[in-house]
A = this chain, B = another copy of it.
Amino acid sequence: MDNFQAYVDAHRERFIAELQDFCRQPSIAAQKVGMREMATKVLTRLQQLGAAARVIEVAGGAPVVYGEIGDGARTLIIYDHYDVQPPEPLELWDSPPFAAAIREGKLFARGVADNKGNLMCRLHAVEAYLATMGALPLKIKFVVEGEEEIGSVHLSQFVAENRALIAGADGCLWEAGYKDVNERPVLTCGVKGIVYVELHAHGAARDLHSGSAAIVGNPAWRLVWALATLKDADDRILIDDFNSHVRAPTDAEMDALKAIPFDEEKVKAEYGIRAFVNNLTGLALLKKLLYEPTCTICGLYAGYIGEGSKTVLPNHAFAKIDFRLVPNLSPNLVVELLKKHLARRGFDDIEVKLTETGEEVARSPLDAPIVRAAIDAARAVYSKEPVIYPTMAGSGPMYPLCQQLGIPAVSAGCGWHGSRGHAPNENIRLADYFEGLRFIRELIDRFAQS
């Protein structure tokens, strides 16, 4: 066993305790809960590591925690976020979302997979590297933001105001990553864009007895009718002019899909579904997952949703919808098309509320040095061959932080296929966490030499 691994083994219990401490601090961006406290925790941990760290304020947003450490020819940005998704619905958690309970080798907590586990894993890897291998062979710049889960609303502004800290870096290690259903480590080189809107319908001045519904308009029905014009039962997005903006994938992009081993049966079993949308399989399935946009109802509400029956005519209904975007859809374009679409069909009464600014699509070249270093590091550490995704189905601020400055990025991390990101019982396996430490060590060495 080498010194790095011996150090990790010797500090295993402390590492776990420190990860639990991160997870026990709620930091829910959507609800503005615990953000400042969590930023302070991250700052303190960076300072303990010996990094030149500080909290950088962004007007109107959660602050960014920034830290520099090491020196060398190469500069690596490590991007993470200290915010988490809301923990609701609470009743579906087997242990409280901020208890950070450990069961059967897994740590359960809101945010542990997305993304406090990766953040702490990278901090611990650097600590072990410094303690056992000497000075870092490159410069690492930690950029830890607090608004990833609400669309990194102020990250563009942060980059604009702190461009000198970011520009010129050679590569970026992105926030997330996981092992697929066949335990192969997944490396990802891009993100979909996203825009998140709320549609609100309003009715009478107040809720009424539902007997009145014969003659008084029902906003819940208005909302249903409006929504039904957005997407059909074949999952086709029907918004006027929407699909004409979707650029078809190039041959090279399609080729990248062919290299992905996607175990459909295991994924279906993991999700508990009998078939994928439209019974898709093979390349068509991967194409839809990675190269096609989505329009997803994330939330729906009207009237009485408690136990039993209440015969009420609601006076308000809303839907929360996210669109995942591919080239050449942009957040602004989608909102504009959506509003025009609704107005053209007489749904002017439906209020379209933008809950965040949205994020652009980003994809890095698959042969960039940071991507190659990550592939090599994964091969050195993991027993299974890594899988390269040209983009993830999810989103993130890769465009403002990396792509617009020409910095290639790759995403890798210590989640697994059962991590349940954004859902109850989110978790990571501790074995993956400690394997992840070795991956970071290998990545540092290989990227420094690239």
Q: Could you list 22 A-B pairs, sorted by A, with CB under 8 Å?
A: A31-B306, A86-B310, A205-B271, A209-B422, A210-B324, A211-B394, A213-B294, A214-B288, A216-B273, A220-B299, A221-B231, A224-B224, A297-B302, A297-B317, A298-B303, A298-B309, A298-B313, A299-B305, A300-B314, A301-B301, A303-B320, A309-B355
- Chain A 260-298, CB-CB to B under 8 Å as 1, else 0, gives 000000000001110011001000010011101010111
Q: Is A137 an interface residue (CB 8 A)?
A: no
Identical subunits present: 2
Residues of chain A in range 163-212 having any CB-CB distance to chain B below 8 Å? 192, 194, 196, 203-212
Bound complex: CA A356 to CA B272 (Å)? 31
Q: A86-B304, A196-B309, A311-B322 are in contact. List 14 more A-B contacts (CB 8 A).
A: A30-B307, A31-B307, A149-B310, A150-B308, A210-B294, A210-B422, A216-B271, A220-B298, A222-B233, A224-B224, A297-B302, A300-B305, A309-B322, A309-B356
Known: A394-B211, A423-B207. A320 touches B299 (CB 8 A): no
- Chain A 86-120, CB-CB to B under 8 Å as 1, else 0, gives 10110010000000000000000000000000000
Bound complex: CA A313 to CA B231 (Å)? 15
Residue in A213, A297, A304 with the greatest tally of chain B CB atoms within 10 Å = A297
In the complex, are the beta carbons of A324 and B273 less than 8 A apart? no
Bound complex: CA A290 to CA B149 (Å)? 50
Q: Is A218 an interface residue (CB 8 A)?
A: yes
The 10 A-B pairs at the shortest CB distance, nearest first, are namely: A205-B272, A30-B308, A211-B393, A228-B228, A211-B394, A220-B297, A300-B302, A213-B296, A299-B303, A207-B423
A357 to chain B, nearest CB (A): 11
- Chain A 223-266, CB-CB to B under 8 Å as 1, else 0, gives 11101100111010000000000000000000000000000000
- Chain A 74-89, CB-CB to B under 8 Å as 1, else 0, gives 0000000000011011
Q: What is A's interface to B at a CB cutoff of 8 Å?
A: 29-31, 85-86, 88-89, 92, 149-151, 192, 194, 196, 203-218, 220-225, 227-228, 231-233, 235, 271-273, 276-277, 280, 285, 288-290, 292, 294, 296-314, 317-320, 322, 324, 346, 355-356, 392-395, 420-425
In the complex, are the beta carbons of A277 and B210 less than 8 A apart? no
A202 to chain B, nearest CB (A): 10
Bound complex: CA A296 to CA B301 (Å)? 14
Contacts of A310 on B, CB cut-off 8 Å? 30, 85-86, 88, 149, 298-299, 320, 422
Bound complex: CA A150 to CA B307 (Å)? 11
Contacts of A31 on B, CB cut-off 8 Å? 306-308
Contacts of A220 on B, CB cut-off 8 Å? 297-300, 319
Contacts of A30 on B, CB cut-off 8 Å? 306-310
In the complex, are the beta carbons of B212 and A271 less than 8 A apart? yes
Q: Residue A225 contacts which of B192, B215, B228 (CB distance < 8 angstroms)? A: B228
Known: A207-B422, A322-B210. A196 touches B311 (CB 8 A): yes
Bound complex: CA A429 to CA B92 (Å)? 45
In the complex, are the beta carbons of A211 and B192 less than 8 A apart? yes
In the complex, are the beta carbons of B355 and A211 less than 8 A apart? no
Bound complex: CA A33 to CA B218 (Å)? 29
Q: Residue A311 contacts which of B89, B221, B235, B298 (CB distance < 8 angstroms)? A: B298
Contacts of A300 on B, CB cut-off 8 Å? 220, 223-224, 300-303, 305, 314, 317
Q: Residue A215 contacts which of B207, B210, B289, B311 (CB distance < 8 angstroms)? A: B289
Q: Residue A204 contacts which of B272, B289, B393 (CB distance < 8 angstroms)? A: B272
Bound complex: CA A211 to CA B394 (Å)? 5
Contacts of A88 on B, CB cut-off 8 Å? 304, 306, 310
Contacts of A346 on B, CB cut-off 8 Å? 233
A274 to chain B, nearest CB (A): 10
Known: A208-B423, A299-B302. A285 touches B355 (CB 8 A): no
